[in-house]
Amino acid sequence: MGIRTKLILFILTLLAAICTVLTLLFSHNEWAAISSNNQRKNLQILLAMSEVCSEIHDTPGKSSAYRYFKTFLKTPEIIKVSCSDANNSVFMEDRYYSSQPQPFPRLLKTFPPPRIGVWKTKNDNGVEILEASLAARSRKGGKISAHVDFSAQLIYQEMASSLRQASASFFVILSIAFAIGCTGTLIITRVIFKPIQTMADAARIIGAGRLDHRIPVTGSDEMGMLAAEFNEMAVKLKEFDDMKKDFVSSITHDLRSPVTGIELCSDIIKGFVEKQEYGKIPGQIFSINEHSQRLNRFIDSLLEISKIESGKMTLDIKTVNLEELADRAVRSFKSYAGQKGVKLEFIVEQDIPDMHGDPDRLYQVLSNIIGNAVKFTNSGSVNVYIQASPGWQKVRVCDTGIGIPERELKNLFSKFYRINSGPRGSPCVRQGTGLGLFIAKFITEQHGGRIEVESSSGKGSVFTIVLPA
Ligand code: ADP
């Protein structure tokens, strides 16, 4: 069963429960009102009857009240009226029945009788009677009692018919409200579930590999926000998919080019050996060495990533001087910078005290950042500054190179992330593995530090390695 059907069923059940509760409340209250009206009416009849009895008692034979006495029995529920005196002897009586016994349905609650007079129910040969009597004094001071017998069944029938009439209009209103509730539920669930359905369809399409599929964003409500987030996620997925494709093509290139280099060199050596030109061999051996070093570096990076991911990369903490490490790293790139015509300088502004850290790993971080600065600078300079402040030591690497577009900065330290510095969609212009900064950031954070970067396209970059002293 779909979530929409479940919600509709839930709301309809809720509506039905509310309607049932309202019906019960209405029936109870209406019955109480009808019952109290009826009791008031019966009491008025009893009071009027006591007036009539008193008058007949005071002026027997002459009273005009005899006429009224007869009119009581015109009320359908009254089946017997009588007046008695102080000795309980009946001096006036009129009766209407005997009515046929009928089953008396007592379905609804009964309420306590009025507090004036004595109200009793009795069963007279199967006929339910409500017997009311009121003791009073006549105007001349004689003790009299007025008695009225009501047919309980007729009273009940009249009350039930009043309740039916009131309920009819209540049920019409309730049915209209229920119908509006049902229609509203259908409309609301449709409005809510249509975008969810659209999103489910989009997720299916994207899952099937069409990563360029997007959901139309309508409005700025929660659904609109969800659709926008969904689209954002699809964009990211597409980016990662592109990155994966680029990575596969470049990793193949990165692995193949040194291997091809080694193969070429060994072919050349073979030719030299055949021609017995042994003197030319050493040059080729240097090239083979360079290629295998490159291959090794690449494989090392991949191994390091796997170490980081399995949590096996540990630090070998020793006393270390950051200035010495930075100086070593700068010197290792001097000749490369010189070849490119880039001025590489190390500027020490103050004494740098020793600190604790893993020297090999920190050297790896410094040479990655300095190496990148030289690699991505074609003219101008790369300046490396070192500073110490209480609690912190900083190495700042400023270059005048190609810079990094602002939109790329947030992903710069992600695994395998390289910036395409050429025309869009041309993977061949990406250089390196995109692993260096990811590893550098990890190592720096393992030391309790961080790497900050400021850069803009074409204006150079500043990388700052901040380490706790
Ligand atoms: P790689 O080992 O392939 O150089 P990194 O993780 O070290 O990878 O760098 C990721 C990307 O960041 C590089 O491909 C490059 O595009 C960019 N980058 C890093 N440093 C600089 C810099 N100083 N100037 C311009 N781009 C840089």
Three-state SS letters, 359-404: HHHHHHHHHHHHHHHHHCCCCEEEEEEEEEECCEEEEEEEECCCCC
Q: In the numeric block, which tokens belong to residue 94?
A: 């009129």
Amino acid at site 381:
S
* Number of Cβ within a 10 Å radius of residue 241: 12
Say if ligand 1 is within 6 A of residue 374 CB. Answer: no
The CATH class given to the 222-310 domain equals mainly alpha
Is residue 370 within 6 Å of ligand 1 at its C-beta?
A: no
CA atoms within a 13 Å half-sphere pointing along the CA-CB vector of 245 = 8
Index of the ligand 1 atom closest to the CA of residue 419: 16
Question: What pLDDT is attached to residue 359?
Answer: 94
Q: Look up tokens 């961080």; give the residue.
A: 450
Q: What is the pTM of this model?
A: 0.50
| Per-residue model confidence (pLDDT) at position 99 | 59
Which parts of 208-221 fold into alpha helices (H)? none
pLDDT of residue 423: 44
CA 197, CA 79: separation in Å to the nearest integer? 71
Name which CATH class applies to 3-175.
alpha beta
Which CATH homologous superfamily contains domain 318-468?
Histidine kinase-like ATPase, C-terminal domain (3.30.565.10)
Q: Are 50 and 127 in contact (CB under 8 A)?
A: no
3-state secondary structure of 116: coil
Closest C-alpha residue for ligand 1 atom 8: 434
Atom of ligand 1 nearest to the CA of 399: 23
Residue 344 · residue 332 · CB < 8 Å? no
Domain spans, the chain: 3-175, 222-310, 318-468
Question: Using CA positions, which residue lies closest to atom 18 of ligand 1?
Answer: 372
Q: Is 432 in the pocket of ligand 1 (CB under 6 A)?
A: yes
Out of 251, 299, 437, mutate this one to test ligand 1's pocket (max ligand atoms within 8 Å of CB): namely: 437
Q: What is the predicted pLDDT for the residue at 306? A: 84
- What separation in Å is there between the alpha carbon of 329 and the centre of ligand 1? 17
Q: CB under 8 Å, gap of 24 or more: what pairs does 59-68 form?
A: 60/91
57 within ligand 1 shell (Cβ under 6 A): no
Q: What is the pLDDT of residue 428?
A: 38
Q: How many CB atoms lie within 10 A of CB 25?
A: 10
**Sequential pLDDT tens for the chain (469 residues):** 777 788 888 988 999 999 999 999 998 899 999 999 999 999 999 999 999 899 888 887 777 777 788 888 888 888 889 999 888 888 888 887 655 666 666 666 777 778 888 998 888 777 788 899 999 888 888 899 999 999 888 888 888 899 999 999 899 999 999 999 999 988 988 888 888 888 888 889 988 888 888 888 777 888 888 888 888 888 888 888 887 777 677 677 778 878 998 999 999 999 999 998 888 888 889 989 988 988 888 888 888 888 888 888 889 999 999 999 999 999 999 999 999 999 999 999 888 999 999 999 999 999 999 999 999 999 999 999 999 988 899 999 999 999 999 888 988 998 877 776 544 444 334 456 788 999 999 999 999 999 999 998 888 999 999 999 8
Q: Are 288 and 265 in contact (CB under 8 A)?
A: yes
**How far is residue 59 CA from its own chain's centroid?**
87
The pLDDT of residue 209: 84
Three-state SS at 143: strand
Pocket test for ligand 1, best of 344, 372, 404, 411 (most atoms within 8 A of CB): 372
